[in-house]
Chains A and B, each alone.
Chain A
Amino acid sequence: MAKEFKTIKTEIRLPYELAYGATWTKFFEGMENEIIYGTKCSKCGRVLVPARSFCPRCFVNTDEWVETAQEGTLTAWSYVNYSYFGQPIKPPFIGALIRLDETDVDFLHLIGGFDLSDFDLVRKTVKNGMRVKAVWSDERKGHVLDIKYFEPA
């Protein structure tokens, strides 16, 4: 039998306090009040969500604020059925790209509102192109998870 070699268990924990700045602050204030904020680019006309301080394509400031629709269409989804250290959401869950109505990028969030432990039910329920709408948490903290998930509309 091959010799077993020793190992050392170690851990790194570091505290951070990250600045949101003006645009993210307003976006998360919106979350607290059940509003999804986007910003519109004056050059290409795209509505970006979450709100951005500038358009990544045109490289101009985006200061026109838009309250986006809370319903949209499912672009893509993935049923996540494995776990890792510090995973913020307990599996199984469904990560999804959602095109909110009248916006021009996909918003990344969760699909839920039904029994996710039954994979066959998930396969039957979730389809690309389906309509979904935001479901808000009762206790909102100015966080992206103030939306609990998007459920089939």
Chain B
Amino acid sequence: MARRGSLSDSGSDSGSEDSSLSDSELQEAFSRGALKPGLNVVLEERPKRRNDADGLRQCLSELKQQLAWVERLDVTSGQVVDPASQSASSKDAVDPENDFQREMSFYRQAQAAVLEALPRLRKLQIPTRRPDDYFAEMAKSDQQMQKIRQKLKSKQEAMERSERAKQLRAMRKYGKKVQTEILQRRQKEKKNMLNAVKKYQKGLSDKLDFLDEEQTSSQGNKNGSASQRIKKGPNAKRRYKNQKFGFGGKKKGSKWNTKESFNDVSSFRSKVAHNKGPGKSGKGGKKALNKRPGKRARQKMKSRAR
């Protein structure tokens, strides 16, 4: 029986579509409300898929042979429950697109079947293990097996080679890093040594400690110099700049300000800057330490110290 459907846009005639029904019947149907206005077309009904369950069962009963299990060797089983992975009940969740999962499910099904069947076979005295001296024709020829073995071997070798290459590269990188560290350390030591020598030459320190291996930071040594000024040497700012840029061999702009040093106001002491610190003229004390002597005075001090 054809179903009647109607299209959304209004059409004209509907009567010519079904000639099987007379006009009066159509009118009745319309008055009942079974028909909607518009173009009524005969829709093709989807061909029903045949599923003759009784016929199938009958066929099966005809087809079945009364054979002992040993003739058929069939096993219907679920999968081996793998404790590590999901339980067998989630087998329905096996994603057929996920190749590995799918193949593992087949593998587990085969395993379960084998585990069930082997004891039965043993009971029926059907051998499952081939004796070592039983030589017979195999499904794949020896040549084929050789090819397979070669391929496996070559794959393994390629993997090993790439592993070795990676390790070598990593080791070389590490070695290079270590070497650069060593070189840098040596250069630093050399630099420090030279600085110490220069300092000694300039008379700022008369210790010969730099000849020893150990270089400790300068400790407070009270003897050998009259003036406390020389004890301290130049002030902190001077010492910092000397340490950073060294003596001699100055590059042109090395003592100029950089952006970072300009923006760095951490060493700004407002009391110092505005000359308003404690111990100033108000207390009567003289902050001789912060007052830098003039050029002449400094030269005199230097020559005196030599």
Asked if A and B are interacting partners, one says no
B residues with CB within 8 A of A: none
